[in-house]
Amino acid sequence: MNVNDFDFELPERLIAQTPLADRTASRLLVLHKDTGETEHRTFTDLKEYLKPGDTLVLNDTRVLPARLYGVKPDTGAKVELLLLKRLEGDTWEVLARPGKKVHVGTVLHFGAQEEDGEPLLTAVVEAEGEMGARHVRFQYKGIFNELLDKLGTMPLPPYIKERLEDRERYQTVYAKHEGSAAAPTAGLHFTEAFLQELQASGVRLCWITLHVGLGTFRPVSVENIDEHEMHSEWYSVSGESAELLNRTKSEGGRIVTVGTTSARTLETLGQRFDGGPVSACSGWTDIFIYPGYDYRMVDALLTNFHLPKSTLVMLVSALAGREAVLNAYREAVEREYRFFSFGDAMFIV
């Protein structure tokens, strides 16, 4: 299958630059995967499509203020690092910009102490990783996460030009476990009150964790999508969550995932346990879902609208069919839905 099979025309004006003041005020395009029919609703209408006994799966990862701006002390050149994942101790996998000037042995400084002008944080590049990443070891005094909170900024996607004054607006209301380089954006639509309303109607909530990494930022650069390699990301599923997923299946309820990160985590479980009952587990996943894939765990999916030719469009196309998804996307463009991280929502049911 060719990457161009997942292309569509997207006017730049439809890229949402800022979040709506009311998280639940987004529009909702409902795509019925069995028929290809669509409906145009508002986000809070989601409750009309969920039934008692359904389980809503949410990724409770928390975004780190993972973008750091520093300098090369020998030349004064400015450098940007984006932290992707902790490898071991104070060694991290990062993206560097400009990457061509950040080689093994490069020293970078971030922030400065008022008393002596020494950097608050120093990074030494120790190795080149996969897909253009770098491995850096940080040196500092104090607590790393406190320094990161002081020096770092939220890693908003490059297509968002506006500055985000409230960091929490790029976190889900249920974000808990720090470790992501990007938000699981489908979850940004929920408020605590709306989640409570869904629970009161008999919908069960299930928490899983997948720390979003390089795969979110890496475009498909090959024509034949079979040749594309996904970047591995760390996931964790508790015993309580595994038990709830098993109970939902055995009782005939539906598993409804919020976002592609939750979907990839559950389908990783489906492969790991061969479609049978799942157990508590954690590990790394590089699952790549595209048309031809047979979903084992996910029955329905809430997601945002994604980039043309992206692995995320391919994932949703595997669930509802490529033509149905692209037709729905064309409708969304015609009706001027907001796209990407702060955009509107789509429910595939």
* Amino acid code (one letter) for 301: L
Q: Which two tokens stand for residue 23?
A: 């998280």
Q: Which two tokens stand for residue 11?
A: 């006017």
pLDDT in the model for residue 99: 83
Burial classification of residue 292, based on how many CB atoms lie within 10 Å of its CB (0-12 exposed, 13-18 middle, 19 or more buried): exposed
Q: With CA atoms as reference, report the closest residue to 71 among 79, 83, 63.
A: 79
Residue extents of the structural domains in the chain: 3-63+165-348, 67-151
pLDDT in the model for residue 215: 66
| 75-to-58, 70, 71, 78, 138 alpha-carbon distances in Å | 45, 12, 8, 9, 20
pLDDT in the model for residue 108: 95
Neighbours of 5 (CB within 10 A): 16
Three-point CA angle 105, 110, 116, nearest 5°: 110
* Amino acid code (one letter) for 169: R
Identify the bridge partners of residue 83 per DSSP, sorted by sequence position.
94
Identify the bridge partners of residue 236 per DSSP, sorted by sequence position.
209, 282
pLDDT in the model for residue 159: 80
| Alpha carbon distance 168, 266 (integer Å) | 26
If one looks up domain 67-151 in CATH, what number appears? 2.40.10.240
Burial classification of residue 169, based on how many CB atoms lie within 10 Å of its CB (0-12 exposed, 13-18 middle, 19 or more buried): middle
pLDDT in the model for residue 214: 66
pLDDT in the model for residue 293: 96
| 34-to-37, 281, 299, 349 alpha-carbon distances in Å | 8, 32, 12, 8
Cα dihedral 309→310→312→313 (10° resolution): -10
All residues at 6 or more sequence positions from 271 whose CB lies less than 8 Å from its CB, including other chains: 287, 296
- Terminus-to-terminus CA distance in the chain, angstroms? 25
| Alpha carbon distance 105, 125 (integer Å) | 5
| 222-to-218, 227, 228, 284, 296 alpha-carbon distances in Å | 12, 7, 6, 24, 27
Q: Which two tokens stand for residue 62?
A: 């928390």
| Alpha carbon distance 220, 96 (integer Å) | 19
pLDDT in the model for residue 228: 87
CATH 3.90.1150.10 is right for the domain spanning 3-63+165-348: no
How many residues appear in the chain?
349
Chunk the chain into consecutive blocks of 10 residues (it has 349) and report each block's average pLDDT, rounded to whole numbers: 93 93 96 97 98 98 94 92 91 90 92 79 91 90 92 87 85 96 95 98 98 75 87 94 98 97 98 96 95 97 95 96 97 97 97
